[in-house]
Chain A
């Protein structure tokens, strides 16, 4: 059985682990409360840019050293940035735990060298360009901007070409000093982990982390002006697109809300990518390439996304079918056997995912950073199994009745927006 352990170090850093010594690997990660929603206009894209710069050298390691040592420890290591957090993680053989903790902890105090910053700016601009070429051509970012406004949760994680081009390394250094403080961070581990050693080593490696100077308070944004490079037009024109892409966004449960399990199951019943109501109505019939619905939980709020991809001429009729499927659930609820089926499927998915320590790590670290709460696999399974048709009905009435924000990306002005 796995065992949950947690400790708060003297400097405020939280160390948590789900230890299961039967595992073949150990997953280790730093979870940092630094995401797009923490940025102001002049910092737009910095959480993500900074994530790249954390691999670019420390006081004692060059950029090449960092990459080389990550590879020397085998396994898989990477990082990602979201609206609310930046995560650095690695899955390694247990014998490399100490070396990986040493390396990751050192990376959390980066050099932020000006020349490396200038070179990496090119990589970030390439990353932005790469996503511009891929479906749905910025429609997810645009729907967030339209729904939440261009700031806060609506701020683009990658920033804009303009914000990155104009970014100064000192702005990054200040942002780093404000966000990468021990009280904003969690060191999480899962799998075959030596927890006592982890705590001891982390205590030594991070002892001086509070010495970071606190920068002056960041300027607040002029809400009357749109950040550079941002548009709020819900129509995205993509001249060469063959398909049309529609994204909608409305409210959903937050990361701590008790109805989040019901919402996840409800979304799965309506819009999972196989066997859901939308699947049978739109995908199985070949009417659409993608027709799906999923909740996204944030620390203080939640979102419900829908995504529809089809030929432009079928968009209007598909939107009608999609809305009908949603209305039907609001009106009539779901049947017990339908709920049982989705619970069985979800529970099996959780069990399968739980076998990889690296997959357990993300849930553990994010949830602790956000809510200071631990959920074991068994508790998670129970939470799904407890959901009944009444809870699904409540979730449907609470979250599916409002008018969502809608964005369509396509070659022409057809189809028209429904709102």
Chain B
């Protein structure tokens, strides 16, 4: 159990649909907020006429975030940065698959003015047309940079194959979209998706409850509402793909279907992934890197997208996947892939109590250390609220983790052994899909796509 009781998480909903969730951390000198509005990268193509080529809208969510930050309320872009700097506000805006988010950390005294600045950004951006070309040039730089990062390229492509081109869509611009995106597209995207409906504002840190809530009411109370068209359903692309590059290492990405956050067995499954990949005594680190010296980086992690409802009111279930990576020189790449997949498939063959105990201590420690950071706490509050529709109190999470048994993990993985993997490699030579992959119904050899 936590060494110190934490103040309760409080929640309220504004009439316009915004959920405000907050937790006081009076021992800190700082505070932080996270604001999420549903409709991120995937919204670029949801409910858009089918005449549109999806590629032509790549990067629109990022471009809108960029344009929003180029002046808002009484400030031009330089004044906005100066106002934040002078208050010590370290802020960030970005879009991901399902949301557009703005977050910031700051000295505690700055939280109230920071909420005002956030409202300026989200509600009163200038969207200055004379800066549109500059913003597009920024997106172009990001697109080109992505080309030079083999690991990022790999993981983006893997995500696309695992979730399909709609749900697995990347937020990076394409050469085509840089030609076609217009200021009208940005205005329309802003109007459609920057609203309070189903949005979340989370706050954590050292602040006065009443004062901050008054500031939120003043800043967002009369904010317009709106709807969210939900997320696309997964539509995976099976098989393997190799991208040829004369790199020093072969970069290997693998993915497989998994249960999402919120599923009753999620934490039992997650404990198994923890045993596999969390920490220096985890299976992948110990058996692939330490015992054989095959690679420097190897890991597997879980990813979830929440349930949503589409425009017709049809529920779209939550989805999840495991994504993994290993980087190794070409002559050792096949062995690395085979061994890594072997460890995943044989996780439940030799589970030990001590492995589960280590994972539990790790989770408990990280939950307690989260109390040292308003920023990470605000992020967790928003994430829980978005994925679960409520914040799981730390104490509840601790008791769930504490109650997990080795038997549960074994039973889970015996009936959920991953049978087929989606694999993407970048490097000088393609690989066979892994010895284990050959046993399954999918055949591996020569299954490398364009």
- Residues of A at the B interface (CB closer than 8 Å) are 22-25, 55, 63-64, 67-68, 70-77, 91-93, 119-123, 125-127, 129-130, 132-135, 239-243, 274-275, 280, 283-289, 309-311, 337, 340-342, 344-345, 347-349, 351-352, 355-357
Pick the contact of B327: A24, A64, A130 (CB < 8 A). A130
In the complex, what distance in Å separates the CA atom of A91 from the CA atom of B369? 9
B280 is an interface residue with CB less than 8 A from chain A: yes
Q: Contacts of A120 on B, CB cut-off 8 Å? A: 293
Cβ-defined contact, A93 with B141, below 8 A: no
- Answer whether A74 and B366 are a contact pair too, CB < 8 Å, given A23-B372, A93-B3, A126-B294: yes
Cβ-defined contact, A67 with B142, below 8 A: no
Q: Contacts of B302 on A, CB cut-off 8 Å? A: none
> What is the distance, in angstroms, from A74's C-beta to the closest C-beta of chain B?
3
> What is the distance, in angstroms, from A79's C-beta to the closest C-beta of chain B?
11
- Answer whether A355 and B249 are a contact pair too, CB < 8 Å, given A74-B366, A243-B148, A284-B77: no
- Answer whether A355 and B148 are a contact pair too, CB < 8 Å, given A74-B362, A344-B85: no
Cβ-defined contact, A241 with B148, below 8 A: yes
Cβ-defined contact, A285 with B286, below 8 A: no
Q: Contacts of A241 on B, CB cut-off 8 Å? A: 148
In the complex, what distance in Å separates the CA atom of A351 from the CA atom of B87? 12
> What is the distance, in angstroms, from A124's C-beta to the closest C-beta of chain B?
8
13 residue pairs bridging A and B, Cβ less than 8 Å apart: A23-B372, A24-B368, A67-B280, A68-B281, A70-B279, A126-B249, A130-B249, A130-B296, A243-B148, A284-B77, A289-B142, A311-B141, A348-B89
Q: Contacts of B88 on A, CB cut-off 8 Å? A: 344-345, 347-349, 351-352
Q: Contacts of A352 on B, CB cut-off 8 Å? A: 30, 88, 90, 105-107, 375
Pick the contact of A355: B28, B89, B292, B358 (CB < 8 A). B28
Q: Which of A76, A121, A123 has the most CB of B within 10 A?
A: A123
Q: Contacts of A242 on B, CB cut-off 8 Å? A: 144-145, 147-148
Q: Contacts of B27 on A, CB cut-off 8 Å? A: 22
Pick the contact of A123: B139, B282, B293 (CB < 8 A). B293
Which of B16-24, B130-138, B315-323, B390-398 is near enough to bind chain A? Answer: B130-138
Pick the contact of B245: A63, A123, A240, A348 (CB < 8 A). A240
Cβ-defined contact, A288 with B358, below 8 A: no
B268-305 contacts to A, CB under 8 A, are 279-282, 285-286, 289-297
Cβ-defined contact, B373 with A356, below 8 A: yes
In the complex, what distance in Å separates the CA atom of A240 from the CA atom of B244? 11
> What is the distance, in angstroms, from A359's C-beta to the closest C-beta of chain B?
10
In the complex, what distance in Å separates the CA atom of A285 from the CA atom of B296? 38
Cβ-defined contact, B294 with A135, below 8 A: no
Cβ-defined contact, A122 with B294, below 8 A: yes
- Answer whether A134 and B149 are a contact pair too, CB < 8 Å, given A64-B286, A70-B281: yes
Q: Which of A122, A126, A280 has the most CB of B within 10 A?
A: A126
> What is the distance, in angstroms, from B430's C-beta to the closest C-beta of chain A?
17
Cβ-defined contact, B368 with A123, below 8 A: no
Q: Contacts of B365 on A, CB cut-off 8 Å? A: 25, 73-75, 92-93
B150 is an interface residue with CB less than 8 A from chain A: yes
B371 is an interface residue with CB less than 8 A from chain A: yes
For B, the interface residue count at a CB cutoff of 8 angstroms equals 76
Q: Closest chain B residue to A118 by CB distance? A: B293
Cβ-defined contact, B81 with A275, below 8 A: yes
B414 is an interface residue with CB less than 8 A from chain A: no
In the complex, what distance in Å separates the CA atom of A242 from the CA atom of B88? 36
B417 is an interface residue with CB less than 8 A from chain A: no
Cβ-defined contact, B30 with A129, below 8 A: no
Cβ-defined contact, B144 with A243, below 8 A: yes
B357 is an interface residue with CB less than 8 A from chain A: yes
Q: Closest chain B residue to A359 by CB distance? A: B372
> What is the distance, in angstroms, from A95's C-beta to the closest C-beta of chain B?
8
B82 is an interface residue with CB less than 8 A from chain A: yes
Cβ-defined contact, A126 with B327, below 8 A: yes
Cβ-defined contact, A129 with B289, below 8 A: no
Q: Contacts of A135 on B, CB cut-off 8 Å? A: 145, 148-149
Q: Mark B225-263, 1 if CB is under 8 A from A, else 0.
A: 000000000000000000001111101000000000000
Cβ-defined contact, B136 with A286, below 8 A: yes
Cβ-defined contact, B145 with A24, below 8 A: no
Cβ-defined contact, B138 with A239, below 8 A: no
B29 is an interface residue with CB less than 8 A from chain A: yes
- Answer whether A348 and B293 are a contact pair too, CB < 8 Å, given A64-B281, A68-B358, A355-B373: no
Q: Contacts of A68 on B, CB cut-off 8 Å? A: 281, 354, 358
Q: Which of A67, A71, A75 has the most CB of B within 10 A?
A: A71
Cβ-defined contact, A351 with B29, below 8 A: yes
Q: Closest chain B residue to A342 by CB distance? A: B85
Cβ-defined contact, A129 with B249, below 8 A: yes
Q: Contacts of A240 on B, CB cut-off 8 Å? A: 245-247
> What is the distance, in angstroms, from A281's C-beta to the closest C-beta of chain B?
11
Q: Contacts of B81 on A, CB cut-off 8 Å? A: 274-275
Q: Closest chain A residue to B4 by CB distance? A: A24
Q: Mark B364-386, 1 if CB is under 8 A from A, else 0.
A: 11101101110100000000000
Pick the contact of A132: B89, B245, B248, B285 (CB < 8 A). B248
> What is the distance, in angstroms, from A401's C-beta to the closest C-beta of chain B?
27
User: Which 5 pairs show the lowest CB-CB distances between chains A and B?
Assistant: A286-B137, A348-B88, A74-B365, A122-B293, A289-B141
Q: Contacts of B375 on A, CB cut-off 8 Å? A: 352
> What is the distance, in angstroms, from A123's C-beta to the closest C-beta of chain B?
5
Q: Contacts of A351 on B, CB cut-off 8 Å? A: 29-30, 88, 107
- Answer whether A71 and B281 are a contact pair too, CB < 8 Å, given A123-B289, A123-B293, A286-B137: yes
In the complex, what distance in Å separates the CA atom of A239 from the CA atom of B428? 14
In the complex, what distance in Å separates the CA atom of A405 from the CA atom of B375? 39
Q: Which of A22, A337, A345 has the most CB of B within 10 A?
A: A345
Q: Closest chain B residue to A279 by CB distance? A: B81
Cβ-defined contact, A310 with B90, below 8 A: no
Cβ-defined contact, B137 with A130, below 8 A: no
B320-362 contacts to A, CB under 8 A, are 327-329, 332, 354, 357-358, 361-362
- Answer whether A67 and B30 are a contact pair too, CB < 8 Å, given A130-B327, A275-B85, A284-B134: no
In the complex, what distance in Å separates the CA atom of A288 from the CA atom of B145? 10
B443 is an interface residue with CB less than 8 A from chain A: no
In the complex, what distance in Å separates the CA atom of A289 from the CA atom of B248? 24
In the complex, what distance in Å separates the CA atom of A92 from the CA atom of B137? 45
In the complex, what distance in Å separates the CA atom of A358 from the CA atom of B419? 41
Q: Closest chain A residue to B70 by CB distance? A: A284
In the complex, what distance in Å separates the CA atom of A33 from the CA atom of B23? 43
In the complex, what distance in Å separates the CA atom of A310 from the CA atom of B137? 11
Cβ-defined contact, B85 with A287, below 8 A: no
B185-233 contacts to A, CB under 8 A, are none
Q: Contacts of A287 on B, CB cut-off 8 Å? A: 137
In the complex, what distance in Å separates the CA atom of A24 from the CA atom of B28? 11
In the complex, what distance in Å separates the CA atom of A341 from the CA atom of B87? 9
Pick the contact of B106: A64, A127, A340, A348 (CB < 8 A). A348
Q: Closest chain A residue to B330 by CB distance? A: A129
> What is the distance, in angstroms, from A190's C-beta to the closest C-beta of chain B?
12
Cβ-defined contact, A123 with B107, below 8 A: no
Cβ-defined contact, A71 with B145, below 8 A: no
Given contacts A67-B280, A71-B279, A345-B85, 20 further A-B contacts (CB under 8 A): A25-B369, A67-B279, A70-B281, A74-B361, A74-B364, A75-B362, A75-B365, A91-B369, A119-B291, A123-B289, A126-B295, A129-B327, A132-B247, A243-B147, A280-B78, A285-B134, A348-B87, A348-B106, A348-B107, A356-B372
Cβ-defined contact, B86 with A341, below 8 A: yes
Cβ-defined contact, A344 with B87, below 8 A: yes
Cβ-defined contact, A119 with B141, below 8 A: no
> What is the distance, in angstroms, from A287's C-beta to the closest C-beta of chain B?
7
> What is the distance, in angstroms, from B21's C-beta to the closest C-beta of chain A?
21
Q: Closest chain A residue to B375 by CB distance? A: A352
B410 is an interface residue with CB less than 8 A from chain A: no
> What is the distance, in angstroms, from B13's C-beta to the closest C-beta of chain A?
30
